[in-house]
Amino acid sequence: MYKIMVVEDDSNISKIICENLEKQGFQCLRIVQFENIVEEFIKFKPELILMDINLPGNDGFYWCEKIRALSKAPLIFISARNSDMDIVVATNMGGDDYLVKPFSLEVLLAKVKGMLRRTYSYNEGDTNILSFGELIFNADNGMIACKEKIEELTHNEMEILKILLKNQGKIVSRERIMRRLWNDERFIDDNTLTVNITRLRKKLSAIGYENIIKTIRNEGYII
């Protein structure tokens, strides 16, 4: 069962859309509070998003950009705005399709089914997303985010954070991390790992997560 998130501030339209999607066997999340759309996306993990442009507070372009930093899930804009510039901006922000209001439910359902078929017939899933509290880490593209703050990690920083998040609550030895990064820790200066850990901590601090990587003396690191 595919999950679809509907971000539409007209409650009547969003209800009708969700009712019809559910009749087709889809699981639907209707957003009613528009301050924490990224957090709702992370919790629900939809395979497709329907996004209006004119929303309370930040517009749909803004939220599309934030979601794109974390996920490749297809996103269809639904909007009464029909200028060429709106469509160009929507595409540049990461939108996959654009449907102008008013539209028929038959057309919407056809676009949704077609997009899901094209997207998921050829790959086994979306992004490899890991989390810790409000920290979100996309292990596919190296983006870390907390609320509206985003940082991009290097390859080594990605690998360090990935192994620590996958072993939350467990000590990961320096030797294990070094083997993960360089295959054989015997020929790597121990300070090289320390430098990478320091840089990773700075980027985590920049998005509001300080001191989540703990050093366990003579053993390794833990989140």
Q: What is the pLDDT of residue 95?
A: 93
Cross-strand bridge partners of residue 92: none
Q: Are 138 and 72 in contact (CB under 8 A)?
A: no
Let me know: does 116 contact 47? Beta carbons within 8 Å: yes
For range 44-55, the mean pLDDT: 95
Average pLDDT over residues 166-191: 79
User: Span 152-174, mean pLDDT?
Assistant: 93
Mean pLDDT of 51-64: 95
DSSP state for residue 173 in the 8-state scheme: E
**For position 184, what pLDDT does the model report?**
55
Degrees, nearest 5: CA angle 197-171-168? 85
147 falls in which pLDDT band (50, 70, 90)? confident
Question: Residue 26 burial by CB count (10 A; 0-12/13-18/19+): exposed, middle or buried?
Answer: buried
Whether 186 shows a pLDDT value over 70: the answer reads no
- Read off the pLDDT of each residue in 37-56 and give the average, rounded to a whole number: 93
Q: What is the pLDDT of residues 85-142, one digit of tens each?
A: 989 999 888 999 999 999 999 999 999 999 998 888 654 444 578 888 888 888 878 8
* Cα angle value 116/121/125 (rounded, 5°): 80
Beta bridge partners of 50: 6, 76
Could you give the percent of the chain with pLDDT greater than 90?
61
pTM of the model: 0.63
**Residue 187: its pLDDT value, please?**
47
Please give the pLDDT value at position 71: 86
Give dist(CA 157, CA 142) in Å, integer: 8
Strand pairing partners for 98? 77
Beta-carbon contacts of 102 under 8 Å, excluding residues fewer than 6 positions away, are 80
Task: List every span in the chain annotated with CATH 3.40.50.2300.
Answer: 3-120
Using DSSP's 3-state secondary structure scheme, residue 23 falls into: helix
Architecture of domain 129-222: Orthogonal Bundle (1.10)
Q: Could you write out the DSSP letters of every residue in 65-103?
A: HHHHTT----EEEEES---HHHHHHHHHTT-SEEEESS-
User: What is the H or E stretch that residue 61 is in?
Assistant: helix 60-68
Nearest to 147 by CA among 66, 52, 203: 66
Q: Which CATH class is domain 3-120?
A: alpha beta
**Average pLDDT of the residues in 70-86:** 91
Q: Where along the chain do the CATH 1.10.10.10 domains lie?
A: 129-222
Q: What pLDDT score was predicted for residue 126?
A: 47
Summary mean pLDDT of the chain: 89
Report percent pLDDT > 70 for the chain: 93
The mean per-residue pLDDT over the stretch 152-170 comes to 93
Q: CA-to-CA distance for 16 and 18, rounded, in angstroms?
A: 6
